[in-house]
Amino acid sequence: MNNELLHHLEQRINEAVEEIGSLRGRISELEMQNYELSEEKNEIQTSLDQTKEQQSNWESSLSQMLNRLNQMDDKQ
């Protein structure tokens, strides 16, 4: 009986060790995915910031042009 119990425990331990190895592999995969997604997010954020800055510059230029046109209209 003791040998059967020991054998059963040994099997369970081996299964647990295999499961731990599998989970460590999955953690590594997820960490790599997380890193890649973080890099992609940073690139998208940079692009968004540049687009916002460009939009702001366009809006500012348009506003200046409208002000000049209004000043010209006022002078006439």
N- to C-terminal Cα distance for the chain? Answer: 109
**Which pLDDT value is given to residue 25?**
98
**40 Cβ contact list (under 8 Å, min separation 6):** none
Task: Name the token pair of 75.
Answer: 């002078």
Lowest model confidence (mean pLDDT) among 4-8, 10-14, 44-48, 68-72: 68-72
pLDDT value at residue 72: 87
Asked if the model's pLDDT at residue 11 lies above 90, the reply is yes
Identify residue 69 by its one-letter amino acid code.
L
Lowest mean pLDDT across 56-60, 61-65, 72-76: 72-76
Residue 54 binned pLDDT confidence (cut-offs 50, 70, 90):
very high
